[in-house]
Structure 1
């Protein structure tokens, strides 16, 4: 079983380029985040039995997002590496783009957290048939919907404005992914009532609701965050 995010040198190079492009004019902000996180040794993640503790405060939220981005990046790396039967050139290009976005997100959080980052997690995608389009799209929909609702549900806990701004930028991209995947499954369903409520708002899930779902896709150490109410 590979650790999440093990990719080829070419993919690693793409990830670095994507990260730099993603950071853009926000490089100074990212540097500030990295400095703060690296200096926050009291909030470093620790291991409890077979769980990885995300830490506390804003560090816990960043590690929470980092854990989810590790999962999404690993999933799309595998999707892009082993296209399902009769995958069109169009769909392959879409999955390649999404993979690059998720790898960039993962690397952003890893760099921002510095020494406070949790370890690399190990995926368990045994319930997904990567050779079947229906299985892959259903899993992609589940991951994207979970990611959007996770960011929305944890946003109010973020104390530092810079962190909240970065999370807002990332969740907007995740929502674009979610809409695209839904449209591949059923054209025109990109923003139906199962995704957007009567007020035109995306759904939100608390970390307590998200983590048990994410843990089902992990082998070995699971996610633990007492500071976020996750035991």
Structure 2
């Protein structure tokens, strides 16, 4: 039976974690705002303030994110991108910069990558069908390993690489998992934030179903990083660096956590003290994927912005 003191330690750790998260990267937040590093702005719910948004607008916003995830995983798992017939639609269709197959050393990680890639492709196909004729085209996407690419900018903002250095998410199992970590938690909070805004019960059920799958994906990535981090603690440190870089820049709310728990437990599920997952607004999500702390409509993983009416990141408030 678990000792009661350990249970108390875990509960106390939740509180301690929330109180101490932001200090490490506060100074980095100012630099990131000036250089276009990874950033998010705090907003209660900018999406709700937009007039006359339809379910199609919200699903199209999600479709942009699914294009990004699907292309990254498909290249990593299979060495190629999505088929061209899944990329057309309204708005400007863009190309994919970068992408490469990972020479996985761990067969389990390779299997996880293939499963997630297939799931993300299925999400793209489903959303395109559900939205119909107004489904947006894939925008230009940057998933390159170049020093001036989005992955390197995100890793640089987290302190994982130095100025002018590149982060290659296709170079190893561990790099792939860290690249996936950048996306997966954000996807979960994005769907949780958007789902209550969907009015059609059929679309709402579908959005909730995709949210559940994204949460499974995030758990696979977080669990694998934690397990590998038991032998290589730098991996756990890296998740904390990425998490703190995002969390210190997303306003006053604690929306992000790495995989280390203070106390005798892991932190596979990033939750609030009530055991509930966090939400992010569309603007906050775009601050992350655009890698900018300011209001704008492009940058980072989407060099020319996303397609659709929900396309603007928020301005920094801290």
When normalised by structure 2's length, the TM-score is: 0.51
Q: Alignment partner for residue 138 of structure 2, among 108, 120, 124?
A: 120
Among candidates 97, 106, 122, match of residue 124 of structure 2: 106
Counterparts of 1:78 and 1:84 in 2: how far apart (Å)? 8
One of 193, 206, 221 as aligned partner of 1:166 = 206
Q: Deviations over 1:38-66 (max 9, x none)?
A: xxxxxxxxxxxxxxxxx931111110111
Q: Are the aligned partners of 2:188 and 2:215 in contact in 1 as well (CA < 8 Å)?
A: yes
Runs of 4+ in 1 over 4 A off after TM superposition: 188-191, 228-231
Which has more radius of gyration? 2
Q: Distance in 2 between matches of 1:181 and 1:198?
A: 22
Aligned to 1:131: 171
Distance across 2 between alignment mates of 1:193 and 1:221: 31
CA displacement, residues 182-228 of structure 1 (integer Å, 9 cap, x when unaligned): 011112949728712211111110001002322321233435635x8
The one of 303, 310, 315 aligned to 1:219: 303
Between 1:87-96 and 1:191-200, the stretch displaced more is: 191-200
Determine the structure 2 residue equivalent to 1:72. 69
Aligned-residue CA RMSD in angstroms? 2.5
Task: For residue 157 of structure 1, report the CA deviation from its aligned partner.
Answer: 1.1
- Per the alignment, in what secondary structure is the counterpart of residue 124 of structure 1? strand
| Cα 1:174–1:104 shift into 2, 3 Å | same
Distance 1:131 1:169, change over 3 A: same
- Partner residue, 2:102: 84
Instruction: Give yes or no for contact 2:222–2:268 (8 Å, CA) kept in 1.
Output: no
When normalised by structure 1's length, the TM-score is 0.68
Residues 113, 224 of structure 1: alpha-carbon distance in 2 compared, 3 angstrom cutoff: closer
Query: Structure 2 CA distance, aligned partners of 1:79 and 1:147?
Result: 18
Please give the alpha-carbon distance, in whole angstroms, between the structure 2 residues aligned to 1:110 and 1:173: 18
8 Å Cα contact 1:149-1:205 kept in structure 2: yes
How many residues are treated as equivalent by the alignment? 176
| C-alpha contact 2:106 2:173 (8 A) present in aligned 1 | no
- 1:204 matches 2:279: yes
1:18-57 matches, within 5 Å, as 56-57=53-54
The 1:171–1:121 alpha-carbon spacing in structure 2 relative to 1, beyond 3 Å, is: same
Structure showing the higher helix proportion among its residues: 1
Give unmatched runs, 5+ long, in structure 2.
Answer: 1-51, 80-99, 145-150, 152-166, 231-258, 261-265, 291-299
